[in-house]
Amino acid sequence: MAHQISLAVARRFLAIRHLLAPPRALPAEPESVMAVVDRFGSLQFDPLEVAGRNHDLVLQARIAGYRRELTDELLYGRRLLFEAHNKALNLLPARELPYYRITWDRGADGWAGRLLTEQAPLAQKLLAAITTQGPKCSADFEREGSIAWYWGPTTAVRAVLEAFAECGRLGLARRDGNRRYYDLVERLFPADLLAIRIPEREQRRHKLLSRYRAHGLLGATGSAELWLGIGPAPLRTELRAELMDRGEILPAAVEGLKGQRFIVADELPLLAQAGREIAAEAAGAPAQPGDGAPGASFLAPLDPIMWDREALEPLYGFEYRWEVYTPAAKRRWGYYVLPILFGDRLVGRIEPRIDRAGRIVRVLGLAWETGFDPLASSEFVAAFADALRAYLQFGSADSLVPPPGTSHRPLFRAISAQVPVRRGGAAAHHDGGATRPGPAKTAAAHRVALS
């Protein structure tokens, strides 16, 4: 029997299980990073850092005073985390490494393995240097000619190092910015961990479970990227049935969402909590998401709660597309825009930029969903101010430059006692090629919200 979940309970459940009700409730310590990773199974990595790297933004929304050094120490110091492909490049718990060896095996059998064969003399040279001298990056070797690689031509040295990593021969010793230093995997992980071998089908089943752990209410379909690396649809159907037979995921029917959804069995108490909270509010109690006052958070574009883009409209009435790869003239909202969650609702979007040299954060764009007035609720004003203060701390910034124009002035005037706001609008930006034109719908939303 599928669990019947109302739209309101589904939104509340997702906010609670995503550690966003309230946001930033975990202390700034490595154990909090591990708690988030353990809840979601993986955090998607993306190197773009215009507003903060994706995984850092995910953690910043859940950990008070989060610093990137907390995760870097777990990755490159204590090695409780490691990087591997799962949906995309992800940060994963090192103890689960045996469940992701399939990625290395497929790399060795695929293009990466063929490249190492084709570039055997160079591959042997690089491997010998790393074996005898320790971690190396591509800049440590003489530049070779360009060759075809996944995204286009790149240097042979870089491609070979990445191919070794994809095959599990090398791993990341550390990152220096976006420069990657590689070392032998046997020097990075314990021998007994590397020696564990798990049947391929079990690995694929674990990878499928990781997607349900990440989102919390995924269905059986959705965009193809949700299921990358698991296998074709018939195999996923078999593996999903096995997860249900094992009692690891449970079927659910969510009001307004097409098809069956699935909840991780261990999270039934969180679903029950969401139901109690919504029932109490229906009886007249004040809104208390997660047993606390509603908070605000800025969500990373690849935050697990955003993975199922097709579910955002029926769940939240919110349409979102990450537009970093959209030509500037065709962007609707902006280059690197973060959805704004308030309590358990998506109410707007913000486009911040961190100017580390100037120790400021510039808000290049701010838009509210139709019908949402940020000044109508003192709770939202306080929550928005708190989210901005946390983001300033995350960016090591001392002050905030509000968006250009006059429509947002009342809101920033209201928060100026809590957030150091500079006078004057944000400078024009040129991410991706051109300044973003404000679409008519955005401008209209601003007028409705702030008039």
Instruction: Please give the model's pTM, rounded to 2 decimal places.
Output: 0.91
CA distance 159 to 112: 9
pLDDT at 424: 58
pLDDT in the model for residue 115: 94
Tokens of 225: 């990227």
Closest of 243, 239, 242 to residue 230, by C-alpha: 239
CB 75 within 8 Å of CB 44: no
Beta-carbon contacts of 154 under 8 Å, excluding residues fewer than 6 positions away, are: 146, 147
Residue 347 in 3-state DSSP?
strand
Residue 430: its pLDDT value, please? 41
Kindly report the backbone phi and psi dihedral angles of residue 11, in degrees, each rounded to the nearest multiple of 5, phi listed first.
-65, -45
Give me the helix-helix angle, 268-282 and 7-17, nearest 10°: 130
Provide block-wise average pLDDT over 10 residues at a time, the chain (451 residues). Answer: 94 98 96 97 93 97 97 96 93 97 93 94 96 96 85 90 96 92 97 97 97 97 92 97 98 94 97 96 89 92 95 94 92 95 97 94 96 94 97 96 92 94 58 36 32 25
Of 164, 160, 168, the closest CA to residue 142 belongs to 160
Q: What are phi and psi of 235, to 5 degrees?
A: -65, -40
Q: Which of 370, 365, 357 is nearest to 338 (CA)?
A: 365
Sheet bearing 88-93, strands edge to edge:
43-44, 88-93, 81-86
Alpha-carbon distance of 168 to 355, in angstroms, equals 37
Q: Look at residue 436 in the predicted model and tell me its pLDDT.
A: 35
22: cis peptide before it, omega within 30°? yes
- Judge whether 217 and 13 are in contact, CB under 8 Å: yes
User: Chain centroid to CA 82: how far?
Assistant: 16
82, β-bridge pairs: 92
Q: How far does Cα 40 stand from its chain's mean position?
A: 10
Show the tokens assigned to 289: 């998401």
